[in-house]
Chains A and B, each alone.
Chain A
Amino acid sequence: MNRCAVIGIGQTKHASKRDDVSLAGLVREAAGRALEDAGLRYADIDAVVLGKAPDMFEGVMMPELYLADALGAAGKPMLRVHTAGSVGGSTAIVAAGLVRSGVHRRVLTVAFEKQSESDAMWALSPRYPFQPPLLAGAGGYFAPLIRAYIRRSGAPAEVGMQVAVKDRRHALANPYAHLHLADISLEAVRASPMLWDPIRYLETCPSSDGACAMVLADEDAAARAPAPPAWVRATAMRSEPTMFAGRDQVNPRAGRDCAAELYRQAGITDPRREIDVAEIYVPFSWFEPMWMENLGFSPENEGWKMTVEGVTALGGALPVNPSGGVLSTNPIGASGMLRFAEAALQVRGRAGAHQVEGARVALGHAYGGGSQFFAMWIVGSERP
């Protein structure tokens, strides 16, 4: 397998409504910044891989067709990935695959969502024959899983609120983040309306317009890049069935298997010690402790202790979501790629005010569906 590196990263300013740009303008804002970071132009790119969540979020069927012009894809191969909420991660993995296989040398990968064009709650809540209605979107689906986690682990009720405060404080150091809640506090979270017990309004991700882009390159192209690259050390995807009684939706096997494969590829035996920073897909606050366990950073039922002890805060032993994470920015289709890109920014030393000092190995994580779909990568500052 050929080596692959991230040599360019760009993202938009995320907001609930980017009505100053079209869909094309949104993706170009991110793609242009990624190319600038890589010191390249559209003409230097061999192929484009686009990812986004359901097309109904904007009401454009297969929008990669329309976006081909804006992304300079004419005359090139263009792929469109869709793997539910994990799509931003799996899109980056498909793009990295084009480089690692030796098919292409420089690939532009872009993920976006412009949620203000439609209504995600509506798009996520259709009625299907012979299936119970999902009702009220993703929160309604995940709240029972969170309750099950709290019951299993005996975690104190405040843990979710602490995650919500921590990630919003992190976001204050990230100029691209959607939410900048300067006066966030435990009291404010506690006082916010209960949406899906136990998920309060301030423990929920926002609905964002935004895009993220990366330029992935082979070793030769990485050597010519103007800024230090982030080397892709491992990638993994795992999926499990939706209708299967043997699933543990609180601590899904697909996530555990995906992490195990990732660590195997990267030669990591003690993730808590060997990984310096993690960008994890946490759309509802309680998913931080849940994923800490699923990813093997903590023994089962003890992930919440990492939050309580401050391990996952900037300055802690394993900062989680220094960018502010999905709780601060959620253009759904791009949210996974933002995790992957933020991980890469950290090991490149280019994360600005939310940089984790001395970060050399970082994890990017995304999940989707009803926790059936996982995509992860590990990037490092040193060439593997």
Chain B
Amino acid sequence: MLRPLTRDVAIVSFAEMPAVRREWERDEVEMLVPVITEAIEGSGIGRKEIGFTVSGSSDFLTGRPFSFVIALDAVGAWPPIEESHVEMDGAFALYEAWVRLQHGDIDTALVYAFGRSSLGEVRDVLAMQLDPYYVAPLWPDSISLAALQARALLDSGRATEHAMAEIAARSRSRARSNPNAQVAGAFDVDALLAEPYLVSPLRRHDCPPISDGACAMVLVAGDRARRAKTQLAWIRGIDHRIEPHALGARDLTRSPSTALAAERAGVSAGAVDVAEIHAPFTHQEIILRDALGLGPDVDVNPSGGALAANPLMVAGLTRVGAAARKIMDGSARRAVAHATSGPCLQQNLVAVLAAEPEAVR
């Protein structure tokens, strides 16, 4: 942290909608109502006691302006509430809530995210994130850009196609125990490698599924958190950093923004039991593992990660939620969660969660 912080903040509950390829029947409000209700009920905090509400989503997925406006109707904002929204992954909404709780005048926050990647051609939609003058007109789709990054990583000698297939097989095997995963099963690495390229050097298994989803999280701070009777996941550090947008200005095989965020969040201050890494493409897990400084003994993505379910704007906050669950169920003492945004890992957030409240000062 840059400066001493005064308040400890913890995750008290997390709920997610099982990710699906296409949500046909429910709109955003109907997707959110069950997860927000579950998160609030799981927190033991009354809906009217929530001090701050903040969400993450993107209008370009829904294809309509102000998609978060209607989504707010899932919260029950009456009497009117203190509320904000980021046009980003919900993990960055979590960051805003964490900052807000540092002010000290409120003790509770609700964070939620929703994303329906199925409503458009998401590969092409994401091309609209690029420099609108020099890059977007070329329509480089998101898988092609990831393929450029994968090729650079393979050329650097730090990855092989075999290692990438192993990541896919491991993630989807772990996802079999995650009821919210969309793609899960036992896959044979050699069989995966026999498949044709989708965009060389990426095969279908190297890419995330297209997912619709939603999730919600409740935070508590200060004495209110210390009085909690359940095991909380304490946020011991959280930071995010962005890199230049111009792909040519970056070494795509490294993630310095992740490394810096990890340093600021205090990842290396203790042993890491579990890491939930937001790596939509297999090769990105290798880059991010390096940047986070995780050793071979760290259990990475027991949820299956973004390769098992990747609802855009949701998958990052879901990583934090999945890591928090490991703390809350007692299977981990210290966990790292990571979220990414933008082409080829341009922007990254890192949070350190722990079973104990003592923050890294």
A residues with a Cβ closer than 8 A to B are 1, 22-23, 46, 53-69, 73-84, 90, 93-94, 97-98, 100-105, 123-124, 126, 128-129, 236-244, 246, 252-254, 257-258, 369, 372-373
- Expressed in whole angstroms, the Cα–Cα distance for A76 and B6 within the complex equals 22
The interface residues of chain B lying within 8 Å CB-to-CB of A77 are 95, 239-242
Looking at A69, A75, A241, which has the most chain B CB atoms within 10 Å of its CB? A241
The interface residues of chain B lying within 8 Å CB-to-CB of A97 are 96, 99-100, 103
**Contact: B65 with A81, CB < 8 Å?**
no
- Expressed in whole angstroms, the Cα–Cα distance for A252 and B73 within the complex equals 16
The interface residues of chain B lying within 8 Å CB-to-CB of A372 are 69, 72
Q: B235 → chain A, closest Cβ, in Å?
A: 13
The residue from A58, A76, A102, A104 contacting B242, defined by CB atoms under 8 A apart = A76
Given contacts A1-B103, A62-B88, A237-B82, contact A102 B5 (CB under 8 A): yes
The interface residues of chain B lying within 8 Å CB-to-CB of A1 are 103-105
The interface residues of chain B lying within 8 Å CB-to-CB of A90 are 84
Q: Judge if B194 is at the interface, Cβ distance under 8 Å.
A: no
- B135 nearest CB neighbor, chain A only: A66
Total number of B residues with any Cβ neighbor in A under 8 Å = 69
Q: Judge if B356 is at the interface, Cβ distance under 8 Å.
A: no
Q: Mark B128-139, 1 if CB is under 8 A from A, else 0.
A: 111111001000
- Expressed in whole angstroms, the Cα–Cα distance for A1 and B102 within the complex equals 8
Given contacts A103-B102, A237-B84, contact A123 B1 (CB under 8 A): no
The residue from A68, A80, A369 contacting B243, defined by CB atoms under 8 A apart = A68
The interface residues of chain A lying within 8 Å CB-to-CB of B222 are none
Q: Judge if B197 is at the interface, Cβ distance under 8 Å.
A: no
**Contact: A62 with B129, CB < 8 Å?**
yes
**Contact: A68 with B103, CB < 8 Å?**
no
The interface residues of chain A lying within 8 Å CB-to-CB of B103 are 1, 97, 100-101
Given contacts A55-B87, A66-B132, contact A242 B6 (CB under 8 A): no
**Contact: A126 with B64, CB < 8 Å?**
yes
B residues with a Cβ closer than 8 A to A are 1-6, 27, 53, 58-60, 63-66, 68-70, 72-73, 75-88, 92, 95-96, 99-100, 102-105, 125-126, 128-133, 136, 239-246, 249, 256-257, 260, 341-343, 346-347
- A73 nearest CB neighbor, chain B only: B242
Given contacts A81-B86, A97-B103, contact A62 B342 (CB under 8 A): yes
The residue from B4, B78, B131, B342 contacting A102, defined by CB atoms under 8 A apart = B4
Q: A3 → chain B, closest Cβ, in Å?
A: 12
Q: A120 → chain B, closest Cβ, in Å?
A: 9
The residue from B27, B78, B245 contacting A66, defined by CB atoms under 8 A apart = B245
**Contact: A240 with B1, CB < 8 Å?**
no
**Contact: B88 with A69, CB < 8 Å?**
no
- A57 nearest CB neighbor, chain B only: B65
The interface residues of chain B lying within 8 Å CB-to-CB of A104 are 2-3
For this complex, 19 residue pairs linking A to B, each with C-beta atoms less than 8 Å apart, are: A1-B105, A61-B126, A62-B60, A62-B88, A68-B242, A68-B346, A69-B245, A78-B240, A84-B66, A101-B5, A103-B102, A129-B27, A237-B83, A238-B80, A241-B73, A241-B75, A241-B77, A252-B80, A257-B80
